[in-house]
Amino acid sequence: MNLSKSLLATATICLLASCSSTKQSGLQSKNQKTYAEISIKEGGKWNGRKYEGGTFKNVESLDVPASHTDHSWYIRYEGPGWESNKVGYRLYLDWRNAIDIYGKLTDTLVLPQVGQDGFDSYHNMSNWGADILKVAKGMGVGSIGRIINNEMYHFKEVEATEAKVSNHKDKSEVKVKYTGWKTNNQKTNLESQLTIFPDERYTKHTIQSSESMEGICTGIVKLNNLPVIEKLSENKKWGYIATYGEQTLFKDNLGMAVFYQVETAEKPFEGPHDHLIQFKPSKDKITFYFLGAWEKEPDGIKNKEEFIRYLDSNLNKLNQNNELK
C-alpha cells in the first residue's frame, strides 16, 4: 500500500472511530450546547462492593446493582452527569444522593472526557476545569433528602434505583426513580427529573413522591460560614436562597442558589450541614431550580454584586412567567 492510500485508510478509521464514539456518548452535533450521560464499567467483575477491571461504556439507562455504593469504581464519576455550555453537574447515584458541580474553563461540552484517565482525576484542575465543590456530609446543591428532628436522611435504604438520560436539541435530562426509599420507618417511591438548557447555568428539578411525607427538602451545602442570601419575588410566589464567596476546592469564588415556589415550601431553615428548603407534604409534582456560578468560567460572574443581579434577573422572570424554561 502506498503512502497516500495508507494515510487515507488511517483517516477513514479515525473518522469511523470518532463517529462511533460520538454516537455512543449521545453527542449529536458540534453545535450542541447541553449533554447528559451515564457511563458504567463492562468486562470486569464485582468483588464485594468494588468493581474490578473492565472499561467504561455509555448507556441510556441503568438499574443500579445492589452491590453498588460510594467509591465502587463502577459508574464513571459515580453517577449521571449533565452540563450546558456554562457549567456541569453530577449526581452521586448511591446512598449520599448529593449533587456536585463541575466548574468549566471552556464553553464546549466536556463530560465525555471526564474521569476517563483515572477514577477521580476530575478533582485535579485540567484544561477543561474540575470538580470544584466539597460536598462532605451535605447535599451539595439542589439534591433531595429528608430531615426529621434536625437529622438528615439520605438514601441509605432504597429497594431499587433506576437512572435514565436523554439528549435533545433544546435540553438534556436525567431521570431517576427511587423505589421503596425508607426513612423513619416510612417508605415512598420518589421520581426526580433534572433538566438543563443551552446557555444557562440552572437546572430545573422536578420531584414527585408517591406518599405525602414531612421533611422532604433540598438545599445548599454550608461552607466557610458564608451567610445565606434570601429574597422573594414581588408577587411573593417565588423565592431564592443563595450563598456566594470563597467556597471551592481551589479557594476561589462560587455562587450557589435554589429558586423555589413559595406555595410548595414549608419553610427555609438551617440544617446541620446545609441551608435548606423544606417542602410541604405532597403527592403532587414539585418544581424548583438550582445553579452554580463559578468565577473562572468563560465570562463568569466575578463578585457578589454581579451574582445577586444575576439571581434577581432570574427571579424577575419567575415573577412574570412562573418558570425559567
- Structure confidence by residue, pLDDT tens digits, 100-140: 999 999 999 999 999 997 767 888 899 999 999 999 999 99
- Cell numbers at 286, concatenated: 414539585
CATH of domain 32-321: 2.70.98
End-to-end CA distance of the chain: 56
Q: Which residues of the chain have pLDDT under 70?
A: 1-29, 119
Nearest CA to 133 among 320, 310, 292? 292
Residue 9 pLDDT: 38
* Cβ contact 258:251 at 8 Å: no
* Cβ contact 102:81 at 8 Å: yes
Domain boundaries, the chain: 32-321
Residue 129 pLDDT: 96
